[in-house]
């Protein structure tokens, strides 16, 4: 069987270029037989076939949103409010379906706007996600997404999309992203796209919230949903008759690589020399020539006649970047920029603080904006940004990192719309460890592999880098997924609609329908069993999901009476277990499930109670603790985050006493009054404001 894949030309190409779908074989006779799309799809899947480049792009598919029931919409105008529904209706007479928080209009200082918006959004998400709600939070932006032919006008809003994508992974079904254009408005919960109400769509925000699509763009009379789509490579005819990516790096000048002394910077330096003929390379990093391995790179490339300079430079410092560019020799002007710098400070949304957000944004957002502004008039032939798939699909525990990388993708799109060169590569998982990934444990790697993502080899990463530069898209996803997993119904049933095109089959679903089906199926399995048998089945269900979350082979390795802390749980595995149990049972489960019920058997007892069984085993959540919870709930989430109270309470729940000072130890807090407990938090807050 001969299968040719690719795309037809839709734009002019130079005589030297060929595209996928150009004739590569001429034959006198070709026998064919009918085959359905399903048969071809099955054959390719069985062979493990993947697209040639491995590149994907975030695209927007037009969809029809069924008319839903009219819902009550509440606008969330003050992010310091703990409960926007109660704030809007103190009497409690209104049952809201959707709460809308619109990303505020930002000022001309783009970097400051990104930091400000992400801080505000973090406070909103932390307040909203404290409990499992029936209502949906809509985060509304304008111009944060660019459809084909559009210019991204709100880069801060684009960063907000990245953070929300991570929140959606941690709390499925709780938050919806919607982007409108500048002319659209919301009137009585209806989307109005024209003046005088003439452009009103036949749906409201409640209908969007019921669509099962977590990311939507509304333009004129059409709604679009996010999809990941494979893209075909553009290739050049090589001298030897083979094909290779077209060169876009001008070798006559200097190529600047930030993060240049890290793992990525090292192979990039070698690659631009070997493949693109670059003879002058400037490697910039915070460590400079003090970084391990930098001397070896310089010596290796110098032996090939290449001039390599390693410079210590904080690219987030505008003055430092200005000085860096000023030192370039006139005979070797800047012709290429590759921004590969970045830092990680992972935490679930509940544990993030504005400072932890800023740390990650600074290395990505501040630095990229400096490079953009200071080189935009230099006519560089390539402006490449190293982004992450976290900003495209979201990643639990990486809300700050996702925000930073979503900004990079949007900046590349904006530059292209403004006639400047730019390519943002949202990298997937790499096999080789780097300073940014060396902290990942085997459990972290197992968790990533369960998403269907396949780690890239160095060779594959290089091929994707080359292909991305000529792919014709300002932002691409450079990663690979296990196609067999994607096509396995038992696996893809849990994937968001974003993956529909990669899966190859439509899967219309809503979260409510899925929850009801799960609860009904579990209830049927429990029907007819004795209370002891029901409890045993639920305990086994909990232990099975724990084993998956921890990367164990089976549930026999889980002691149902051992505390979660002893099992090796952290905040991220706690979130994953809660989501797995929510999907398996269809129940509404609190985000603090493993903190309220500290052993697997306690959780199983709670599930039994939720399904109509006996009172749950006391998980330690007595009246005193409930008072503490109510008190903490009364404090705005922004202040709790700034005071690190979320981290403190999680440490107490996990009984990590060795990480706390004497006053903050479990025994110390147990003896405190409620006022003293809050005093600990506010003392930290006051000290930080200092």
Confidence at residue 11, expressed as pLDDT on a 0 to 100 scale: 39
Find which of 33-37, 443-447, 579-583, 590-594 is predicted with most confidence, using mean pLDDT: 579-583
Looking at per-residue pLDDT, the higher value among 455 and 626 belongs to 455
Confidence at residue 525, expressed as pLDDT on a 0 to 100 scale: 86
Distance CA 260, CA 256 (A): 8
- Specify the range with the lowest mean pLDDT, choosing from 308-312, 369-373, 449-453, 566-570: 449-453
459 secondary structure, DSSP code: H
- Specify the range with the lowest mean pLDDT, choosing from 105-114, 209-218, 559-568, 654-663: 654-663
- CA angle 666–345–255, rounded 5-degree value: 165
- Buried b / exposed e along 619-642 (16+ C-beta atoms within 10 A): bebeeeeeebeeebeebbbbebbb
Confidence at residue 266, expressed as pLDDT on a 0 to 100 scale: 86
Confidence at residue 17, expressed as pLDDT on a 0 to 100 scale: 41
Per DSSP, which regions of 275-431 are E strands? 280-285, 307-312, 334-339, 382-388, 423-427
CATH of domain 521-612: 1.10.1200.10
Residue 248 burial (CB count, 10 A) = 15
- Tell me what the mean pLDDT of segment 64-88 comes to: 68
- Tell me what the mean pLDDT of segment 379-403 comes to: 96
Looking at per-residue pLDDT, the higher value among 3 and 128 belongs to 128
Quick one: 245-434+449-487 is in which CATH superfamily? NAD(P)-binding Rossmann-like Domain (3.40.50.720)
CA distances from 80 to 128, 256, 421, 666 (A): 11, 43, 41, 29
- Tell me what the mean pLDDT of segment 530-558 comes to: 92
- Tell me what the mean pLDDT of segment 63-92 comes to: 66
pLDDT > 70? residue 568:
yes
Q: What string of H, E and C letters represents the secondary structure of 467-494? A: HHHCCCCCEEEECEECHHHHCCHHHHCC
- Tell me what the mean pLDDT of segment 364-383 comes to: 97
Confidence at residue 685, expressed as pLDDT on a 0 to 100 scale: 43
- Condensed to tens digits (0 to 9), the pLDDT of residues 515-536 reads 556 666 888 888 888 989 999 9
pLDDT > 70? residue 117:
yes
* The CATH fold of domain 61-194+201-225: Rossmann fold (3.40.50)
* pLDDT band per the 50, 70, 90 thresholds, residue 627: low
Find which of 59-63, 298-302, 530-534 is predicted with most confidence, using mean pLDDT: 59-63
Contact predicate 167/357, CB 8 Å: no
Confidence at residue 108, expressed as pLDDT on a 0 to 100 scale: 86
Closest Cα partner for 264 from 107, 383, 434? Answer: 434
Beta carbons within 8 Å of 46's beta carbon, 6+ residues apart = none
Find which of 38-52, 110-124, 255-269 is predicted with most confidence, using mean pLDDT: 110-124
- Buried b / exposed e along 264-302 (16+ C-beta atoms within 10 A): bbbbbbbbbbeebebbbbbbbbbebeebeebeebbeebe
Confidence at residue 362, expressed as pLDDT on a 0 to 100 scale: 98
* pLDDT band per the 50, 70, 90 thresholds, residue 7: very low
Closest Cα partner for 350 from 391, 400, 405? Answer: 400
* pLDDT band per the 50, 70, 90 thresholds, residue 437: low
* pLDDT band per the 50, 70, 90 thresholds, residue 242: very low
Burial class (CB in 10 A: 0-12, 13-18, 19+), 571: buried
- Condensed to tens digits (0 to 9), the pLDDT of residues 481-496 reads 888 888 888 777 778 9
- Tell me what the mean pLDDT of segment 219-242 comes to: 74
pLDDT > 90? residue 150:
yes
Looking at per-residue pLDDT, the higher value among 533 and 53 belongs to 533
pLDDT > 90? residue 210:
no
Distance CA 169, CA 576 (A): 9
Looking at per-residue pLDDT, the higher value among 590 and 59 belongs to 59
Distance CA 107, CA 309 (A): 38
- Tokens found for residue 379: 């006519």
Distance CA 177, CA 217 (A): 8
Confidence at residue 52, expressed as pLDDT on a 0 to 100 scale: 44
Check if 61-194+201-225 and 245-434+449-487 are the same fold: yes
Burial class (CB in 10 A: 0-12, 13-18, 19+), 405: buried
* pLDDT band per the 50, 70, 90 thresholds, residue 641: low
281 secondary structure, DSSP code: E
* pLDDT band per the 50, 70, 90 thresholds, residue 571: confident
The full DSSP string for 223-247 is EEEEEEEE---EEEE-TTS-EEPPP
* pLDDT band per the 50, 70, 90 thresholds, residue 205: confident
pLDDT > 80? residue 650:
no
pLDDT > 80? residue 237:
no
Contact predicate 9/21, CB 8 Å: yes
Beta carbons within 8 Å of 602's beta carbon, 6+ residues apart = 616, 617, 619
Closest Cα partner for 470 from 252, 282, 243, 147? Answer: 243
Confidence at residue 628, expressed as pLDDT on a 0 to 100 scale: 56
CA distances from 105 to 143, 507, 531 (A): 11, 36, 56
Confidence at residue 24, expressed as pLDDT on a 0 to 100 scale: 44
CA distances from 629 to 122, 384, 622, 677 (A): 20, 47, 11, 11
| SS3 assignment, position 113 | helix
Confidence at residue 214, expressed as pLDDT on a 0 to 100 scale: 97
Confidence at residue 363, expressed as pLDDT on a 0 to 100 scale: 97
pLDDT > 90? residue 1:
no
Confidence at residue 111, expressed as pLDDT on a 0 to 100 scale: 98
- pTM greater than the 0.85 cutoff: no
Per DSSP, which regions of 304-398 are E strands? 307-312, 334-339, 382-388
Distance CA 25, CA 658 (A): 69
Q: Where are the chain's structural domains?
A: 61-194+201-225, 245-434+449-487, 521-612, 621-688
Mean pLDDT computed over every residue of the chain: 80
């Amino acid at each position: 069987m001969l299968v040719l894949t690719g795309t037809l030309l839709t734009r002019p190409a130079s005589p030297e270029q060929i595209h996928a779908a150009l004739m590569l074989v001429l034959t006198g006779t070709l026998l064919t037989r009918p085959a359905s799309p399903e048969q071809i799809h099955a054959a390719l899947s069985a062979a493990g076939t993947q697209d040639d480049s491995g590149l994907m792009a975030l695209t927007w598919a037009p969809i029809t949103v069924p008319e839903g029931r009219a819902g009550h919409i509440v606008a969330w105008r003050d992010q310091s409010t703990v409960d926007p529904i109660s704030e809007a209706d103190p009497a409690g007479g209104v049952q809201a379906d959707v709460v809308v928080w619109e990303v505020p209009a930002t000022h001309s200082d783009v970097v400051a706007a990104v930091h400000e918006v992400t801080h505000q959004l973090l406070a909103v998400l932390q307040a909203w996600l404290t409990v499992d709600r029936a209502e949906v939070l809509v985060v509304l932006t304008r111009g944060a997404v660019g459809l084909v032919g559009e210019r991204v006008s709100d880069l801060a809003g684009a960063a907000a999309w990245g953070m929300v994508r991570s929140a959606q992974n941690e709390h499925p079904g709780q938050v919806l992203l919607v982007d409108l254009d500048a002319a659209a408005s919301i009137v009585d919960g209806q989307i109005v796209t024209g003046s005088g109400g003439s452009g009103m769509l036949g749906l409201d925000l409640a209908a969007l919230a019921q669509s099962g699509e977590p990311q939507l763009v509304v333009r004129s009379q059409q709604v679009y949903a996010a999809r990941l789509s494979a893209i075909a490579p553009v290739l050049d005819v090589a001298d030897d008759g083979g094909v290779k990516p077209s060169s876009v790096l001008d070798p006559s000048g200097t190529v600047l690589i930030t993060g240049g002394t890290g793992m990525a910077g090292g192979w990039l330096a070698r690659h631009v020399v070997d493949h693109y003929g670059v003879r002058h390379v400037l490697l910039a990093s915070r460590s400079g020539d003090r970084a391990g391995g930098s001397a070896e790179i310089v010596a290796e490339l110098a032996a090939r006649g290449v001039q390599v300079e390693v410079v210590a430079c904080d690219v987030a410092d505008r003055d430092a970047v200005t000085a860096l560019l000023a030192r370039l020799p006139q005979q070797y002007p800047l012709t290429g920029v590759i921004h590969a710098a970045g830092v990680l400070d992972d935490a679930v949304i509940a544990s993030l603080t504005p400072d932890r957000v800023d740390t990650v944004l600074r290395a990505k957002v501040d630095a990229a904006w400096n490079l953009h502004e200071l080189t935009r008039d230099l006519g560089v032939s390539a402006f490449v940004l190293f982004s992450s798939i976290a900003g495209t699909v979201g990643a639990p525990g990486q809300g700050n990192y996702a925000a930073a990388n979503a900004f990079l993708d949007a900046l590349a799109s904006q530059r292209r719309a403004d006639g400047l060169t730019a390519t943002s590569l949202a990298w997937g998982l790499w096999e080789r460890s780097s300073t940014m990934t060396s902290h990942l444990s085997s459990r972290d790697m197992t968790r990533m592999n369960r998403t269907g993502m396949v780690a890239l080899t160095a060779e594959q990463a290089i091929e994707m880098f080359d292909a991305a530069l000529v792919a014709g898209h300002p932002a691409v996803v450079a990663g690979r997924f296990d196609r067999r997993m994607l096509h396995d119904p038992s696996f893809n049933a849990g994937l968001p609609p974003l993956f529909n095109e990669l899966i190859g089959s439509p899967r219309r679903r809503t979260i409510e329908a899925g929850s009801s089906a799960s609860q009904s199926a579990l209830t049927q399995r429990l029907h007819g069993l004795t209370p002891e048998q029901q409890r045993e089945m639920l305990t086994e269900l909990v232990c099975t999901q724990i084993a998956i979350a921890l990367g164990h082979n089976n549930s026999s390795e889980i002691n149902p009476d051992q505390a979660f802390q002893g099992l090796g749980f952290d905040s991220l595995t706690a979130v994953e277990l809660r989501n797995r149990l929510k999907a398996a049972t269809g129940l509404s489960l609190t985000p603090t499930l493993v903190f309220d019920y500290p052993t697997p058997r306690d959780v199983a007892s709670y599930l039994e109670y939720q399904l109509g069984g006996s009172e749950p085993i006391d998980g330690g959540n007595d009246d005193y603790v409930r008072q503490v919870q109510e008190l903490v709930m009364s404090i705005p989430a922004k202040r709790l985050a700034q005071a690190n109270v979320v981290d403190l309470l999680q440490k107490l729940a996990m009984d990590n006493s060795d990480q706390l000072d004497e006053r903050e130890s479990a025994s110390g807090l147990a003896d405190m009054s409620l006022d003293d407990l809050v005093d600990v938090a506010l003392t930290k807050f006051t000290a930080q404001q200092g």
